Amino acid sequence: MTKNQYLPDAVTPPGTTLAETLAELGMSQSELALRMGRPQKTLGEIIAGRSGITPDTALQLEHVLGIPARFWIIRELHYQEWRARQREAVRLRAEQDWLAALPVNEMTQRRWIEPADDTVAQLRALLRFFGVASPAEWRQMWLERKGAFREAAATVADAGALSAWLRKGQLEAQKIKCADYNGQEFMRSLQLVRALTVKPAHQFLADARQLCAAAGVAFVVLPAPANCHAGGAMQWLTHAKAMLLLSVCHTTDDQFWFSFFHAAGHIVLHGKREVFVDASARESVGELATTAAPEQAKQEQEASAFADNLLVLERALRHSMLGHGPEVRVDRICTFARQQGVTPGIVVGRLQRAGYLPCSYCNELKMTLDWTTIGTV
């Protein structure tokens, strides 16, 4: 159903219209059968709604009654569609539990799905949103799949909220026109994106999106529903287009850029079949890396190392003479950040992840991101 499409509560079978037409013409069923060369029983089944009007029958009615075959064919089509929707409605009423598994109210408020007046209409809106024929296919795609997505859904997020966020990300990413993916071009783009880290957020988003698109990656920033504690995700939409999706849970620049380059690491390093989801907090990323299956844990560690070394190389940290813990001085961090071409907050986050600095130290150097004023998608 398309938006604003009218669907009647009831549709009579085309046989009803045929019976009314015969009454207006003063023609009996037996006469019609004789003129059409069809058994009277067959016409009786059509008039009673137990049999449909085929294209061949529609042509015969056109010749005998003068009513175009197209009218009867469309009339039959509408009736069969109505019957199919009635059968579907019965099945959907038995699937009301699906509504409890999804953040329906948030999805409606954010206009991800259209408002619905009843349960069946709401369920149909969800089917259209997810692009599935029934809740069973949704469960197969989102709950029963194996690999990184399933590990993340079990560890860092409610599966229903996560699936809604990822699906909306897919829909937004599909709108972004991208070149075919090119690995070398993407690595060049990442270096240029790294240079954007010193810019204010309202400036870097559009530039980063353009650079990614030129290399075949659709970059989307999208607020996640409650109970979806995902910070980022990566998925190949086609063999030549990847989605890099971030939520707005990142309130500081070091968190945001680490998640960005972490997701980029999955694109560069890992296969095209998995959906990778990262947690919203750095501690949760570590938790996912330690609780996931060995292969997923290894991939998470590889993506984290990719992000860390693209932001600030390990050898640069070791040679920086910044010290450890209380020895680390703010002025040295700022000087080192300028030399590296990143913000002091990114250096602080890098030091904290590397164990050179406690997580409670120097956080005042991190840039706060106010997503209410920055904008997303």
State whether 163 and 296 are in the same domain. Answer: yes
Phi, psi of 169 (to 5 degrees): -60, -40
State whether 72 and 154 are in the same domain. Answer: no
Torsion of CA 101, 104, 107, 110, to 10 degrees: -150
pLDDT in tens, the chain (377 residues): 455 455 667 899 999 999 999 999 999 999 999 999 999 999 999 999 999 999 999 999 999 999 999 999 999 999 999 999 999 999 999 999 999 999 999 999 999 999 998 999 999 999 999 999 999 999 998 887 655 555 555 555 688 999 999 999 999 999 999 999 999 999 999 999 999 999 887 788 999 999 999 999 999 999 999 888 888 999 999 999 999 999 988 889 999 999 999 999 999 999 888 888 887 654 444 444 445 578 888 888 999 999 999 998 878 777 776 666 666 788 888 888 898 999 999 999 988 888 888 888 888 999 888 887 766 66
State whether 265 and 121 are in the same domain. Answer: no
As to burial, measured by CB atoms within 10 angstroms (0-12 exposed, 13-18 middle, 19+ buried), residue 315 is exposed
pTM over 0.95? The answer is no
State whether 329 and 354 are in the same domain. Answer: yes
How far apart are alpha carbons 185 and 211 in whole angstroms?
A: 9
Task: Provide the pLDDT for residue 158.
Answer: 83
Domain limits for position 41 = 14-93
State whether 102 and 158 are in the same domain. Answer: no
| Residues 6+ away with beta carbon under 8 Å from 204 | 193, 196, 197
For the chain, how big is the Rg over CA atoms in Å?
30
Task: Provide the pLDDT for residue 361.
Answer: 85
Does residue 326 sit within a domain? Answer: yes
Does residue 5 sit within a domain? Answer: no
Does residue 193 sit within a domain? Answer: yes
Number of H helices, E strands in the chain: 20, 4
Does residue 8 sit within a domain? Answer: no
Phi, psi of 230 (to 5 degrees): -90, 140
State whether 287 and 336 are in the same domain. Answer: yes
Does residue 118 sit within a domain? Answer: yes
State whether 204 and 349 are in the same domain. Answer: yes
Last-in-domain residue among 111, 142, 173: 142
State whether 198 and 301 are in the same domain. Answer: yes
State whether 293 and 312 are in the same domain. Answer: yes
Does residue 60 sit within a domain? Answer: yes
State whether 87 and 191 are in the same domain. Answer: no
State whether 178 and 285 are in the same domain. Answer: yes
Task: Provide the pLDDT for residue 20.
Answer: 96
Among 254, 237, 256, 238, CA closest to 246 = 256
Task: Provide the pLDDT for residue 48.
Answer: 94
Does residue 263 sit within a domain? Answer: yes
Q: Kindly write down the DSSP assignment for every residue of 243-260, as one continuous string.
A: EEEE-S---BHHHHHHHH
Question: Would you give the DSSP letter of residue 208?
Answer: H
Q: How many structural domains comprise the chain?
A: 3
**Residue 19 is part of a domain; what is its CATH number?**
1.10.260.40
Does residue 65 sit within a domain? Answer: yes
How far apart are alpha carbons 172 and 131 in whole angstroms?
A: 14
How far apart are alpha carbons 69 and 75 in whole angstroms?
A: 10
State whether 190 and 298 are in the same domain. Answer: yes
Cα 26 to Cα 29, 31, 33, 35, 38: the distances in Å are 10, 10, 14, 14, 19
Instruction: Tell me if 348 sits within 8 A of 258, measured CB to CB.
Output: no
Phi, psi of 277 (to 5 degrees): -125, 130
Last-in-domain residue among 120, 142, 164: 142
The dihedral built from the CA positions of residue 185, 191, 194 and 196, taken in this order, carries a sign that is negative
Q: How many residues does the chain have?
A: 377
